[in-house]
Every structure is written in structure tokens, then in C-alpha cells.
Chain A
Amino acid sequence: MHFGLTADQELLAASARDFLAAESPPATVRRIVEDDAGVSPELNAKIAQQGWQGMLVPEEYGGQGLGVLDAAVVLTELGRFLTPTPFLSSAVLATTLLSIAASAAQRRRWLPRLASGEMLATVAWLEESDRLDPAGIALRVRRARDRFRLSGSKLFVLDAQMADLYLLAARTAAGQGRDGVSLFAIPRDATGISLTPLHNFDRTRRLFEMRFDDVVVDRDQLVGREGKAWPHLERMLNVACVAIAAESQGGAERALELAVEYAKVREQFGRPIGSFQAVKHLAAECFAEIEPSRSLLWYAAWAQQGASKEASRAASMAKARLGDVYSRTTNKSVQIHGGIGFTWEHDVHFWFKRAKSNEVLFGGPDFHRERVAALSGW
């Protein structure tokens, strides 16, 4: 009976925290946030040197072959520091999808380069309907002999400005159901692709609209069996839930730390505001939510060992809970900071905005609570 991190995972957490404290302090985050492209190639290169981009890549393809809980440990630290880097989009989501859906030849072709960080990939799933069910994938693919032609657009694509490879979910057969959903791997230089940045308020994470104007795709770019990609996407959705929940865990911990540090030094009425119960109780309520959330998160990460109903249920529980907890914590953190917390100059607003963007990304708390209800058989 052991509930918690292994010694190796604790070491990973500590070294990730030290590394990010040095390489991704608030000043660095701010510089990337205020940068038009929102990219720091130097930081991405340093992160790749840590081997993180290959954590989830199987060893035979040059990665570390670690599990979702290991990735969650790193994501917790990335979330704590709000590090703008394509770890979630490429090292977690695209890597997971390719690992479970791609042919051996495709894996040999892409995974080693993703593992080294030499190449980045991202998943293009949602469309204007903003639906996470099979009907949300409506982008129609026409067959032209042994090729495919795609036209349409995708929304809310993470890190598209730096990805070299897009994993696109599209519909190869009529209908709205699970059957007919296919996955294509499309290089960024394919003719007919255009990107439009979406100005979301969380500038630590960039989202894009992607337009596909009669993009021609070869048969060997079809990932997995034609029309049978939905279960892979659903499994990736579970990993996405855990990953974002992990970021939210770290972010919530940091947002509370910032509030507590401030409450200890800010004085009003002749004493630290942290000595007032009105302030103390806000902080204690956050702590009493954050601590059990970590246990739920670790369990959900550990449960992602295969495609089981429990993996889905646990992932949705963690996503729903951390979505609420992170948003509530950052709200209270801003309030404890008072006026200074509302300024651009202070850093706490970056966590406040990231909390909301994490909350809605890959389904908000309502969506995931309903998924828990359905999976529980009610």
C-alpha cells in the first residue's frame, strides 16, 4: 500500500521546480507573455535538454517511456511557474495520440524527433461548434483517388505558431457519430494552411484558428484506421484532463503561496492583514481544497494506464475539481492582494487568467461533471 509519488518522482518534482525557478521566473514569463509570438526558443531548447519532451515517448523511439503520473509531476511544476512552453501540446497531447494511434512506420518517423524536441506537434480538434463529442468533428474530407482533400477550419488549436506537425481530427464519412472520425498528420508547410491568432486573455498559452483550404494529404499521413480515430481521441482527452488538472494544481498552490506571502507583510490597522480572520479563512479554505485535490489528481494520473471507464471517470473528476479549485483560489488570491492584485504590474493576474483558461480547456467543470454522471450510470 503506497499512495503517493515514488522516490524518483519526488526527485523529478524537486529538480523540475529548481530548474523552472531558475529558467522560468516571473520576469521571463512576462517577457514571453508580452512577446507577439509568445515563444521563447531558448527556453524551449533548455526544456528539451531536460529530456521532458520525450517523457511519454516509448524508449524504443528515443524517449523515457514514463507514465502519465510522471508527466503530471512536471506539469504541476510548469503550472506553478506558468511556463509558456509547448509541453502540453506536443510532449503530452500529440505524443500520446501518435503513440496510441500511429503505425510503427509513423511512430519511427515522428516520435524520436518529438522526443528530442527537434520537432513540435499539436492537435487540432475543436471547431466552431466547441463540442467535445464526435459531432464536434465536422470538417469534411473528400477522397481523391489515393489522396485526401481537406477544407474547413479548426479553432482553439494550442501552440499552432510553433508546431511543425498538426494532428487533425476530421470526418471521412457522413454522419455525426463515432464512426467516420479520422486523424491526419499534416506538416506545417502543406499548401493551403493559414493560421490566425486568437487574442485570449491568458497570454501564457496561445490559441489559433487554423484554416484548411483544399489541403491535399497523402494516404501515409492518415494516422490509424480510417474512420476509427474516436477512441484514440477520447483516450487523449483523458490524458489532457489529467495534464491540465496537474497544471492547475501547481498554479493553485503558487497563487495561494503568493497571497499568504503578501498577507504576512502587508499591514493595515497596524498589523499584518494575515492576522485578520477574514483573510486567514479565505486562505485556509483554499488550502483545504488544494490538499485533497492533489490526491485526486495523483489517483487520476495513476488510473490512466489504459483505456478503461475508470480512467475516463477519474480524469473527468480531476478536471472538474481542479477547474473549480484553481479558479476559486486565484480569485481569492487577487482579493487578498487588494488593489495591487488588479494591476498589470503585479504578477498574480497571470494565474487568475490561466485558471479560467485551464478551467474551460478540454471541457469545463459542467461538461466533466455530466461525463462523471453518465459514466457512473445515472
Chain B
Amino acid sequence: MDLSFSKEDEKFRREVRAWLRRHLPRRNDALEGGEDLSYDSPERISAAKAWQRTVHDAGYVAIGWPKEFGGQEASIERQSILNEEMVLHRAPGLIGHLGLRMLGPTLIQCGTEAQRRRFLPKILTADELWCQGYSEPGSGSDLASLKTRAELDGDSFVVNGQKVWTSTAQYADWMFCLVRTDPEAPKHRGISYLLIDMKSPGIEVRPLVQMTGRAGFNEVFFTDVRVPRENLVGELHGGWTVANSTLAFERNMLASTTRTQQLMDDLLGLARRRTRNGSKVTRCPATRQKLADLVIRVEAMRYHSLQQLSDEIQGRRGGVSASINKLVTTELNHDICAAALDILGDYGPLMGRTPHAEDRGTWPKDWMFTLGMIIGGGTSQIQKNIISERALGLPRGA
């Protein structure tokens, strides 16, 4: 065991910190939103794009990418240090994260040279924002059953169908999308991965209002939308493999467990300053038990992330760690928010700028948002299926 980073990496950490102290936006409502980073106004979007450009100018966007595509080929240690410092300093998230974390790595691995040259630079600068077209009304957990159809017609695909729960589609410039190109083949083998210009004729985006009251995700309808054949990523009918290669890029979870730690710190701050039933919240034995239990679960995930980071540095494979992280961290985040609401009592449901709302109403909003995160990106139940089949070798159901 050695939990220290090298001198050079610690120097890098100090540089990041120094940069953040100089460049971190002052408290800025356009960039804040608690857990729910929805960009629901043009001001929020342009402020968020400006922030990503600032970070990019400093060389801190996608530092793990190859140099030829605008990255620095930074080590896993440095990527992790950068992410950790960004979260610890409560830096706003990067608005282009879907392009940076999902599509960019996919194009680097599976894209054509032309696709990389065309799309990667604008992902880095947030000049083009991306959304992910995966789920459909009839295809949620069973994603591979998706029905949105794409037929080749000369040099282009013609796309018809519907996507749903599409976060950020209302302002995204492009969508990476899974479509069915061979309805006769077994379901995993008839899917292709397309890049679709959201300004194409025949696309309609209808915002869906989430339980938080915000329009975070959308329905997207395609009617005879023409997509040039060169926007196919990977092989025709090979989209499932392409999509799965992207999931592997989601492994480094240190940043998200750092976020959970931060949420926990916020909860402890709340507990320290609130009173309940006439005495300090931290004096209540039942609350002390609950808080300690949460702290212990958060710490366990923190060390588990460090272990995963260490394994990754040594080239050990992650196994189902991404599923464990997703399952445990999202439920933990929600439990932390629920504990905050318990502490707040009648103040708990007060949202936004209502008089008497605590922490500007972030707790009730995050309480709802974190429940959504338990469902999004593969529900807890799907993660349990994955863990039981891939890690424990239990048979697939009928």
C-alpha cells in the first residue's frame, strides 16, 4: 500500500489547483445547479460553453486523449488528479461531457480518419455539443430491441423512428445514435451507429419535463431524416460492438466518488448547523448512527475507487467494477439527499428561491435528481443482472 502520488504528479496537482484558483468562475447562477446540471436557458448554455473553452485553453480538457487528436496522453494518475481537483474545487461540469466521455473515445477507437478530423476538435472546444440517441419508448433496459429504422438509399441512410430520455437534445448540435439497419438479423447484429446532425430536416425535439420541474431530457422524432453514409461509425450492422466499446471508457470513477464525498461533506455541514426538535441535529443518536453509516459507505467507495485506479495503472482489468460503482454510488447519493431531507423536516420540500429554503433548495432537487440517476444509464436492477451474470457466473434468465 502506498497512497501517495509521485512528486511530478503532485506538482501537476499544485498546478491544477493554482489554475483553478485563478480561473474558477465566481459564484455564478448560470453555471450552478447542484447535481442536476441541466442547461435550460441560452445564458446557461453560453456560460457553460465559455467555461469549457477556458478549461480547454489551459489544456485540461480530455488530457488522456492521444496528442494527435488534441489530448496530452496523460497518465491515468494525472487524469484522476485533474478530475478530483475539479470536483473538490466545485468547478462547473463540462457541458460537452457526452462528446468528451462517450463519442470522442469511440471515434478514436472505431471512427474513420475523416470522422476524427471532422468532429474531435469541436468536441474539445464545445463548439459542437452532442447528445446520445439510445433509449426508445419500447427499448429501455432491453436496449438491443430498439426499432428506429435506418435504410440505405444511395449515399445516405433514411432514418425513421423515435428516441426518448434524450438528455440535452434540445440544444445539442449532433447526436450519436443507435439505429436498426437489418431487421432480419438477431437483435444485436442488426444495429448501426450513426452520427446525426440535429439540424437535419425531419427531426423534431419535444422536451419532457422531469419530476424536478426542469426539462432535462427529450423525445426526439425522426421522419425521413437523411444521414450521409460517411456518418456511419464502425461496420454496417456493427453498431452494438461500437456502443459497447464506449462503455469501457466509463471506468475511471474516482471523480464520481469524489462527488459523492462532497455531497456527504455538504450533508455533514447541514447537520452541524441545523437544530431539530430543540437540539442540535448532531446530538441526536439516531441521526449520528445514520450519518456514520453513510460516511462509512462513502469511505468504502472512496477506497474502492482508489483500488480500481491502482488496478488500472497496473493494467488489471476492471471486471464488473463499473456496474458496482454505478449501483452503489447512485443509491448512496440518493440516500445522502434523503438524509438531508430528514434533517430538514418541514424545510425539506422548500425549493429554489422560496423564503426559508436551505442551501438554495438544492437538497430537494438533488433528492429527485439522484433518484433519476438510479434509473438512468442502466437501472440498479440491470446492474445487478450484469454483476450476477458476469462476476458470479449465474445463468441468464429465460
B395 within 8 A of A: yes
Pair B282/A378 contact, Cβ less than 8 Å = yes
A366 within 8 A of B: yes
User: Roughly how many angstroms separate A263 CA and B388 CA in the complex, as a whole number?
Assistant: 11
Q: How big is chain B's contact interface, by range?
A: 35 or more
Query: Which residue from A2, A264, A284, A370 sits with its C-beta under 8 Å from B385?
Result: A284
Pair A284/B387 contact, Cβ less than 8 Å = yes
Pair A275/B1 contact, Cβ less than 8 Å = no
Pair B393/A260 contact, Cβ less than 8 Å = yes
A372 within 8 A of B: yes
B351 within 8 A of A: no
* Across-interface contacts of A292 in B (CB, < 8 A): 297, 300-301, 303-304, 324, 328
Residue of A nearest to B395 (CB): A275
B114 within 8 A of A: no
User: Roughly how many angstroms separate A13 CA and B381 CA in the complex, as a whole number?
Assistant: 33
| Chain A nearest Cβ from B144, distance in angstroms | 18
User: Roughly how many angstroms separate A287 CA and B323 CA in the complex, as a whole number?
Assistant: 11
Pair B388/A280 contact, Cβ less than 8 Å = yes
B4 within 8 A of A: yes
Pair B393/A378 contact, Cβ less than 8 Å = no
A175 within 8 A of B: no
A3 within 8 A of B: yes
**Contact segment of A14-22, A113-121, A199-207, A296-304:** A296-304
A288 within 8 A of B: yes
Pair A288/B299 contact, Cβ less than 8 Å = no
* Across-interface contacts of A69 in B (CB, < 8 A): 1
| Chain B nearest Cβ from A322, distance in angstroms | 10
B392 within 8 A of A: yes
| Chain A nearest Cβ from B271, distance in angstroms | 7
| Chain A nearest Cβ from B23, distance in angstroms | 27
* Across-interface contacts of B271 in A (CB, < 8 A): 378
Query: Which residue from A256, A296, A370 sits with its C-beta under 8 Å from B303?
Result: A296
| Chain B nearest Cβ from A22, distance in angstroms | 25
Known: A3-B1, A3-B3, A292-B301. A283 touches B388 (CB 8 A): yes
| Chain A nearest Cβ from B182, distance in angstroms | 29
Pair B309/A3 contact, Cβ less than 8 Å = yes
Query: Which residue from A277, A280, A320 sits with its C-beta under 8 Å from B292?
Result: A320
> Which of B293, B301, B310, B391 neighbours the largest number of chain A CB atoms within 10 Å of its CB?
B293
| Chain A nearest Cβ from B387, distance in angstroms | 4
Pair A320/B388 contact, Cβ less than 8 Å = no
> Which of B282, B310, B384 neighbours the largest number of chain A CB atoms within 10 Å of its CB?
B384
Between A and B, 24 residue pairs with Cβ closer than 8 Å are A1-B3, A1-B77, A3-B310, A4-B311, A275-B396, A276-B397, A277-B385, A280-B394, A281-B384, A284-B384, A285-B384, A288-B328, A288-B384, A294-B307, A295-B307, A298-B303, A299-B1, A369-B288, A372-B292, A373-B288, A373-B291, A378-B268, A378-B288, A378-B291
Residues of A within 8 A of B (CB): 1-4, 6, 69, 256, 260, 263-264, 271-272, 274-277, 279-281, 283-285, 287-288, 291-296, 298-299, 302, 317, 320-321, 366, 369-370, 372-373, 376, 378
Residues of B within 8 A of A (CB): 1-6, 9, 77, 268, 271-272, 282, 285, 288-289, 291-293, 295-297, 299-301, 303-304, 306-307, 309-311, 313-314, 321, 324, 327-328, 381, 383-385, 387-389, 391-398
